[in-house]
Chains A and B, each alone.
Chain A
Amino acid sequence: MRIEALAGPWLGRLSLSALPTDSPVAMGAALVAVFGALGVAGYITGKGKWRYLWREWFTSVDHKRIGIMYVVLALVMLARAVIEALVMRLQQADAVNRSGFISAEHFGQLFSTHGSIMIFFMAMPFLTGVINYVMPLQIGARDVSFPVLNSISLMLTAAGAALVMISLVLAPFSTGGWSGYAPFTELRFSPGVGVDYWIWAVTLSSIGSTLTGINFAVTIYKKRAPGMHLFRMPLFCWTALCTSILMIFAMPALTVATALLALDRYLGMHFFTSGGGGNMMVYANLFWLFGHPEVYIVVLPSFGVFSELFSTFSAKKLYGYTSLVLATMTIAVLSFTVWLHHFFTMGQSAHINAAFGIATMLIGIPTGVKVYDWILTMFRGRVRFTTPLLWGLAFLVTFVIGGLSGILLAIPPVDFLVHNTTFLVAHFHNMLIPGTLFGMIAAYQFWFPKAFGFRLEERWGRVAFGCWVIGFYLAFMPLYVLGLEGMPRRSAEVFDEAFRPWLLVAAGGAVLIVLGMAALALQLAMSIRHRDRNRVRAGDPWDGRSLEWSTSSPPPEYNFAKLPEVQGRDAFWTMKRSGRAYPPLERYAPIMLPENSAIGPLLGALGLATAFGLVWRIGWMAGLGTAGALVAVIGWSFVRRPGRTVDERQVERTETRWHAVLVAAVPVSREHECDPRNRGLADVAA
């Protein structure tokens, strides 16, 4: 008997039939999700850590903790999406002239969740987390401008991710891909709840990202330390600024696109329907008006990371700083002028196509400049092949191949041939895996010692690196070939025997990438186990150049006991060389910090309830969620809290402790950077 019959209208369209019992693979995934969640919850309960997590993490408004939570969210979602990629690769390799081991419907859900997760719940949280952690430290601030808003953004994003995870169990998810093209996603062609899952998950995350963009932009404009002029900021902060501006301007387009699609589906309106005067081309325009800037939202922060890496690990100033800033700004502006290249094949006039094709190629110029600037940063430097730098080198070599195929796709007549084929799939993976993911993994390896006070194991990092890079080439180079032969993307089955060897190689590449993920997990586990060997409490394991390295590792909650005075670029590097790096102990002032707040998790939970209610047409849940959110925000505006004071004695204790670490540490030369001798104090005598 169906629950629905018992529960009547109380559960909307939700019933037991939502469980994916018809497919063993989907059922297995659902069970993994359920038992994974139960296992984690059980572990936390067993350790009695709920209270600690709630007080110290979930309600925290400290940018560093929020940053770490964002990255954890991104890594969890990355694991799911990578496994989905492997399942799809295996299916295509298996389904040559037969139907393979998963159904076409399930395959459709897989490429949709894979894409949506990778963009909205992997790339976005990852870069937001890294910026959150690093940027305020780099500009010499104690936090972002709006710490509570920061927590709200995180929780909204987490709510969206939770919705996608719920869809594993209460299936199905959309089969409309990450772009959700109407009219396929209209009610007439996708009558199930799948598209609604996609709409509300994406909407939650896009609201979170808009707020994040505002927060970061204001922080960078208003909270820089004395002397930190815009043109003295580390390049990572510049890319964070450009990304934030793109978020502010581009995210509304996504919100509008998904909202109008929802109105079509829920209220029977005619924005993108085939009849009633609706126009699906409006959807394509709206989506890509967001979608193209989004590409640069996820790529620019990595460019910033690489700029820091090449400079730090070459022990040399960044080549062409001004040129890199200009290039970043140019890319940000141009990114709004090229959206039409996502649909050259829609039948508009040749001149429009040509104009957008040329605009697209123009982006190649500043991007090319950046690549050469990074090579010239290593030129005449002293390059150390640490794990983070390896990702950077692989990025340079790999990214330009994606750039080449990108220029090809920017030529409309060439695009006609390979659009919608695996060539396109290969191209954007070739941009986003090195351009975003390698950058983010490198950032994780680079700043991990800052956040936790110990280095990650180099050996497993190198294994992960090898698996990822070789796996990437194996997985995607064959797709270029198949795309040139016209193999459509998103094919659950393949009818061409000649494609089989290429698909097998690609599947092998996917296996290697999953091994790369496993190696990353192992690296983390081994590093935690051997953490005493790799402690870098003094705070500066890489002979860093910017202000975040001038603090202890991990930094105190107030970041800087005294806000630093900045006198030029590479502020900390110069301080170290002139003996001003670690100011002596003195009398400290009390520091006011914002108090923890439960409003973030509360709004996240209400957002999730609203979205879940909307997905399954559970009216009371959606209504209560919305009303609750409104009441919560109004109620919160009545709460007046003075903030929390870290008094001078506490500051003094913390600083004294760190000074003891500094005094005890032996300055280490770069030769011993990656061995236990490195305690985080750089030898600057040489």
Chain B
Amino acid sequence: MQHTATEGHAKRSASRVGLAAMPVRAAIFAVAAGPVAAAERQLLVQAAVLMLFVVVPVIVLTPWVAWRFRRRNRRSAYRPGWDFSRTLEVLIWGVPALLVAFLAVRVWTQSRALDPYRAIDAGQASAAAPLDVQVVGLDWKWLFIYPDQHIATLNTLVLPVGRAVHLHLTSDTVMESLLVPRLAGQIYAMPGMITQLWLRADRPGDFVGENTQYNGSGFAHQKFVVHAVDAGDFSRWVGKVRADGDVLDARRYRELARRGVPAAPERFGQVDADLFGRIVAKYHASAQLRASTMASRATGRTNDAH
């Protein structure tokens, strides 16, 4: 009902090419392909196993107690006035409290260790410099800008295996959330703000990436492919994009930013240097705020300071 003609058209064409645009399948229970997702999944499994100590007794005891003390079973004791036991009370408050205390320590340390803003590989001398990628969430597509390579891609993210990747995210529409389940957990992208996410692919492969925050009728189509390739392939790919990619200037960007689902991924060999900064800054009217947003690109939790 609120579709514009272009939206409708874009959506239809995307449905037609949906398969071509989305060649990657997640196998159920596929293993993590990077250290961040691996650590997060490990934490999930650990906590789940720990919680089973509380949960399994309930699942076993509930039917057992109910059956054992069923009305017809006159052999069981019946104590209609029994309503308290100090020992049991200590147990039922104490055991969950101990479990939570243990988990709380894990939460405190792991939240820091797996903070999406925390640089991975930072301490390792051998590690290559992280690859910076600026991510812009649009309706209903993702734009990836490689500021140091001066190239950009739409709905494709090509990464070198084994090298830390530092994503800077913003949105030029509503709130979105970027998730690549096999590489790392998600982070929101919000207009006028920059959030960050570190990840690394440890094995070559193609992985699904997506937006998980509902943003309209094209939402389900807002997926992209992450190609993790080895370092040599990555440089060759960059060279190739530079050589024969399109130009991404302000006019081309305005076209991209319109609501719609793109028919196919795109590559740009030439990108305006401060495109990302301008996308963020346009939500801040005053010059002063614009300057502070630019300055915080490398360090700040801009969304907090905002």
Contacts and interface: CB of A to CB of B under 8 A. Distances in A.
Interface of A: 20, 22, 97-99, 103-105, 108, 171-172, 175-177, 181, 183-184, 189-192, 274-277, 279-281, 314-321, 323, 343, 345-351, 353-354, 357-358, 361-362, 364-365, 368-369, 371-373, 375-376, 378-385, 393, 396-397, 400-401, 403-404, 407-408, 410-421, 481, 484-486, 488-499, 502, 670-671
A320 B175 contact: no
B43 interface: yes
A338 B249 CA distance: 44
Nearest to B98: A365
B16 to A, nearest CB: 10
B123 interface: no
B213 interface: yes
A104 B306 CA distance: 34
A70 B141 CA distance: 45
Report, nearest first, the 9 A-B pairs whose CB atoms are least far apart: A416-B185, A486-B181, A420-B212, A413-B114, A354-B111, A350-B115, A368-B96, A104-B217, A347-B195
18 contacts: A22-B1, A108-B214, A177-B214, A281-B303, A317-B80, A346-B188, A348-B304, A354-B111, A357-B107, A358-B100, A375-B65, A381-B80, A383-B66, A419-B177, A419-B212, A485-B28, A486-B210, A488-B214
Interface stretch (B49-57, B239-247, B263-271, B290-298): B49-57
Contacts of A376: 85, 88, 92
Given A375-B62, A385-B70, A407 B51 contact: yes
Contacts of B103: 361, 407, 411
Name the residue among A275, A321, A347, A411 with the largest chain B CB count within 10 angstroms.
Answer: A347
A43 to B, nearest CB: 33
Interface residues of B, number: 108
B276 to A, nearest CB: 16
B285 interface: yes
B26 to A, nearest CB: 5
Contacts of A315: 71, 78, 80
Contacts of B231: none
B258 interface: no
Nearest to A481: B28
Contact of B181 (A317, A379, A485, A489): A485
B203 interface: no
Given A347-B116, A368-B92, A361 B104 contact: yes
A347 B196 CA distance: 7
A97 B19 contact: yes
B40 A413 contact: yes
Given A375-B58, A385-B70, A411-B106, A489 B304 contact: no
A490 B219 contact: yes
Contact of B208 (A175, A486, A491): A486
Given A381-B69, A416-B114, A485-B28, A400 B58 contact: yes
Contacts of A108: 214, 216-217
Interface of B: 1-3, 11, 15, 18-19, 22, 25-30, 37, 39-41, 43-44, 47-48, 51-52, 54-55, 58-59, 61-63, 65-67, 69-71, 76-85, 88-89, 92-93, 95-97, 100, 103-104, 106-108, 110-118, 173-175, 177, 179, 181-182, 184-188, 190-193, 195-196, 208, 210-221, 223, 282-283, 285, 301, 303-304, 306
A348 B95 CA distance: 32
B33 to A, nearest CB: 12
Contact of B1 (A98, A105, A345): A105
Contacts of B11: 104
A375 B216 contact: no
A400 to B, nearest CB: 5
Given A343-B188, A375-B65, A417-B44, A349 B3 contact: no
B104 to A, nearest CB: 4
Contact of A347 (B22, B214, B218, B303): B303
A587 B184 CA distance: 77
B100 A408 contact: no
B191 A364 contact: no
Contacts of B85: 376
B78 A184 contact: no
Contacts of B107: 354, 357-358, 361, 410-412
B200 to A, nearest CB: 15
Name the residue among B95, B106, B186, B187 with the largest chain A CB count within 10 angstroms.
Answer: B186
B177 A420 contact: yes
B63 A397 contact: yes
Nearest to B172: A274
B301 A348 contact: yes
Name the residue among B58, B173, B184 with the largest chain A CB count within 10 angstroms.
Answer: B58
Given A380-B77, A381-B69, A411-B107, A175 B216 contact: yes
B71 A491 contact: no
Contacts of A369: 92-93, 96
A248 B135 CA distance: 42
